[in-house]
Amino acid sequence: MKKYCFGIDVGGTTVKCGLFTVEGEVLDKWEIKTRTEDNGINILPDVAETINQKIQEKNIEKESVAGIGIGVPGPVNEAGEVPCAVNLHWGYVNIVGDLERLTGLPVKAGNDANVAALGELWKGGGAGYHSLIMVTLGTGVGGGIIINEKIVAGSHGAGGEIGHAHVEDAITDPCNCGNCGCLEQVASATGIVRLAKEALASTEAPSLLRDQEVTAKAVWDAVKEKDAVAIQVAERFGNYLGKTLAVFATVADPQVIVIGGGVSKAGTILLDYVTGPFRKYAFSACRETEFALATLGNDAGIFGAAKMVI
Amino acid sequence: MKKYCFGIDVGGTTVKCGLFTVEGEVLDKWEIKTRTEDNGINILPDVAETINQKIQEKNIEKESVAGIGIGVPGPVNEAGEVPCAVNLHWGYVNIVGDLERLTGLPVKAGNDANVAALGELWKGGGAGYHSLIMVTLGTGVGGGIIINEKIVAGSHGAGGEIGHAHVEDAITDPCNCGNCGCLEQVASATGIVRLAKEALASTEAPSLLRDQEVTAKAVWDAVKEKDAVAIQVAERFGNYLGKTLAVFATVADPQVIVIGGGVSKAGTILLDYVTGPFRKYAFSACRETEFALATLGNDAGIFGAAKMVI
């Protein structure tokens, strides 16, 4: 009888770890440091060690562990291999093979954004659904697609790379990915700051945003104060994101679209600006697709990782 | 031992039928009329009758038939039900339930464009791959997504509705779907005629297109003759389609993109105009996604339908 599983979320600074029941109850949650030196050669051995320690500490029989799910910041192919993960200083790593050898447990690996999307489907903003698109609005824009409870990893590991959809021909400075005019350049926290600076420069109108450092949070706070310039920024942001999600919905047609990441802390007011353009541009059959805010925050990764092995 | 299966493609005028071996060899191919009168009440009984006749005629043991796959022009949900199929004059029809009852054989049903995409993956332009996006450029623009050999039907039956992605804010006359600025309005046969008329009206330059009825075929024939106006049209067409496919690839990340439908008879020159913008706008990881022309023509539907039950 399998009773337990581990969900591991490897970030550039820390590795988040969770011990779960197979029903999805969190029994323990902890972090270890991500040792990226020496091409990140210690990362998987450190993960194996902390799991083996936890199994001892909790007096868990190894046979009762269903396996280890692990999310990493990089493309993961169907065999559980990573060609390259810049933030971990990794070149090619066979995550599944290496971690199975180190722990003697079954392992499944996925891209961190895709794994977080699976977590939100399982126990977060998408709970109760079986297909979703998740968009994570942080420093960048990440995303994941889940269809019939399975991650769409993509044949080149690019599944769900929503942030790098081309949305604006007029942008001529490059995105981190090298292209110009990506969704990430107008809908991430830094993208919102870009839009705000453009708006402030285009008008002499007074604005709460003139007297402070312009951040995405400051923009949404000003929107809540009915600041006209901030509202104009929110409308442009919502138009870019809503229109792009309408195209995605026309292709993948999920039950629900979940929006998470730091920017989503603005709350439901953010959804208000996105759903209008979405419903304007979406194909009629999917016009009423549900929207929800993510609820698991930084824990989405460990939940989704655990779900992969259940 | 299952040896045979049937692939059925229901159109507004005729029902295409195929008898296949489970390896995908076509043993027989025929058509019957689609009787749309009386709300299409005869369509499924007619299909059942022609299948039962074929089983008798070929002396096939019913136990050796794996099942019947059927594609219809309308949204099909996961239970094999159609809420409404305008071209068949259907309201709600439980295809799977009704056809199983009428034939005593297992049935699977899908949307015709999605089923055709599966056919091209199995035995056509996408053979040898396990994931593809197919775009069908005809009077309209249809599409289908296959991931891991499974149709992405979508939670509202809108999976793969590529033709209704919003691509152009400047178009203010409505698409057949009711929205404005859909891909179908610029990349279908009629969309190419729209672009050609706009191009001809915008310049006094001589063009082969001035002396004849402007059709999509005439445009591509003129492109092959290096007609400057026609080339301008092909470039706009390629930019709309290539850019949109780049967004889709960033989300679904297929191994191959297959282009079919009447417009694709222009041949590889059409791909040349699409792949340039695609590779410019696609996310780096999927920039080298393969392109291919569809090869099964009007038979894609019966192949894909048969594949559903294998």
Query: How would residue A103 be classed by pLDDT, with cut points 50, 70 and 90?
Result: very high
Please name the residues in contact with B233: beta carbons below 8 A apart, sequence gap of 6 or more.
B192, B195, B196, B199, B219, B223
The per-residue pLDDT for range B118-177, each reduced to its tens digit, is 999 999 999 999 999 999 999 899 999 999 999 999 998 889 999 999 999 999 999 988
* Probe site for chain A from B77, B135, B150, B156 (most A CB atoms < 10 A): B156
Closest residue in B to A131 (Cα) is B155
For the record, the structure tokens of B149 come out as 């050999």
ipTM of predicted assembly, 2 dp = 0.90
Closest CA to A155 of A71, A83, A78: A78
Q: Decide if A253 and B147 are in contact by the 8 Å CB cutoff.
A: no
Coil, helix or strand for B130? Answer: coil
The alpha helices in A137-252, defined as continuous H runs, are 184-187, 189-201, 216-224, 228-252
Please name the residues in contact with B296: beta carbons below 8 A apart, sequence gap of 6 or more.
B116, B119, B120, B123, B124, B125, B260, B303
Tell me what the mean pLDDT of segment A237-241 comes to.
98
Task: In whole angstroms, give the CA distance from residue A160 to residue A108.
Answer: 18
Could you tell me whether strands B141-147 and A65-72 are parallel, antiparallel, or unpaired per DSSP bridges? unpaired
Tell me the CA distances in angstroms from A95 to A29, A141, B222, one per residue in order: 22, 25, 54
Chain B partners of A142 at a C-beta cutoff of 8 Å?
none
Residue A1: half-sphere exposure toward Cβ, Cα within 13 Å:
4
Q: Which residues of A sit within 8 Å Cβ distance of B?
A: 75, 130-131, 143, 145, 147, 152-162, 164-166, 177-179, 243-244, 246-255, 281, 283-286, 289
Instruction: Name the β-bridge partners of B149.
Output: none
Model confidence, pTM: 0.92
Q: Decide if A166 and B248 are in contact by the 8 Å CB cutoff.
A: no
Closest CA to A276 of A245, A300, A305: A245
Task: In whole angstroms, give the CA distance from residue B84 to residue B170.
Answer: 31
Tell me the CA distances in angstroms from B89 to A141, B12, B37, B39, B72, one per residue in order: 44, 9, 7, 5, 12
For position B43, what pLDDT does the model report? Answer: 96
The per-residue pLDDT for range A66-99, each reduced to its tens digit, is 999 999 988 887 788 888 887 888 988 999 999 9
Identify residue A169 by its one-letter amino acid code: D
Task: In whole angstroms, give the CA distance from residue B283 to residue A158.
Answer: 8
Chain A partners of B289 at a C-beta cutoff of 8 Å?
155-156
For position B109, what pLDDT does the model report? Answer: 96
Query: How would residue B110 be classed by pLDDT, with cut points 50, 70 and 90?
Result: very high
Closest CA to A246 of A199, A275, A282, A270: A282
Closest-CA distance, B255 to chain A, in angstroms, reads 6
Task: In whole angstroms, give the CA distance from residue B145 to residue B133.
Answer: 5
Q: Reply yes or no on whether the pLDDT at A128 is more than 90.
A: yes
Nearest to A179 among B177, B253, B281 (CB): B281
Closest CA to A166 of A156, A153, A177, A155: A177
